[in-house]
Amino acid sequence: MTEFRGRHVLITGGASGIGRAMAKRFAAQGGRVSIWDLNEANLLATLEELKTAGAETPHGFLCDVARREQVYEAARTTVAAAGPVDVLVNNAGVVSGASLLELSDEKIERTFDVNTLSLFWVTRAFLPSMIERRTGHVVTIASASALVGVAKLSDYAASKWAAMGFDESLRAELHKTAPGVLTTVVCPFFIGTGMFRGVRTRFPRLLPILDEAYVAERIVDAVKRGRRRLLLPPLVGMVPFLRILPVAVFDWIVTFLGVNASMDDFKGRG
C-alpha cells in the first residue's frame, strides 16, 4: 500500500467539485497537496479550507491545462515551490451537454483541449521525473462515458474514450520501461457537482448520482492500494460484458436504464 504522508500530490481542476474533495482527502492522509485551477476565487477559497483543516503547506497555481505553454510554466513553478510530484491526478474537465448539431466548433475543440490533450501536456511535464526516481502514480479521471456513448454527450464521451485509451497505453509503456510508476483510470457515473447539475437517473439504486466526497474517498483508496481501474457504481463494471450482446440489444438495455435520457434536463454550471 502507498502511504501519502509527505508525498506531493498535484490535482488539476482542484478548486471545485471532485477535485476539491480529493484535495481534502489526500491532505487528510498527510499528502502535500498542490492544486491547479482556472478560477482564482475558488483556488484561494480551497487553499483556505485546506489550511483550516490542517493541511501541510498546500499550494495553488492558476493554470489553463488546455494551453501547453501554461502547463509547462506552471509545472516548473510547482516543482520549484513544492518539489517533484509523486501523485499526479489529471482531473480537469469540461462538459457541453448538447447534441452534436447544437455544439459550436469552439465548444468541441475546448472539450478535447481540456479533457484529452491536457492529459498529454500535464503528464509529459511530470512523468520524466517519476521515471528517473522510479516511483510515481498518474491518475486519469475519465468517466462511465468512456465505456458507453450517451445522447447529448458526443464530444464528452469521445474525449473520455480517448482518456481511457491514454491510460491504457501509458500503463503498457510504463510496465515495460518503468514498472515502479503506476497508473489508475477512474470511470464514475454522474457525480452530483455543479458540472453535471440537472442530470437525472431512472434507477437511483442501480445508477445513483454519486456523492463527490464518496467518490473522492474511493479514488484515494484506489491509489493507495495501487488499483489500475476504478468503475463506479458496480453496474458500470458490467458494460464491457454487455458489449458481447448484439448492438440492438445493447442499445435497448442502455435506453431502458434511462442513460440516454439522463441529459434531457442538463443545466451544468451555466
DSSP string, 173-239: HHHHH-TTEEEEEEEES-BSSGGGTT---S-TTTSPPBPHHHHHHHHHHHHHHT-SEEEESGGGGGH
Burial of 26 by CB count in 10 Å (0-12 exposed, 13-18 middle, 19+ buried)? buried
- pTM comes to 0.97
Q: To 5 degrees, how large is the angle CA 163–CA 168–CA 172?
A: 145
Q: Which of 4, 156, 161, 266 is catalytic?
A: 156
Rg of the chain's alpha carbons, rounded to an integer? 18
For 125-166, what is each residue's pLDDT tens digit?
999 999 999 999 999 999 999 999 999 999 999 999 999 999
For 79-112, what is each residue's pLDDT tens digit?
999 999 999 999 999 999 999 999 999 999 999 9
156 assigned to active site: yes
What is the residue type of 138? V
For 210-233, what is each residue's pLDDT tens digit?
999 999 999 999 999 999 999 999
Secondary structure class of 60 (helix, strand, coil): strand
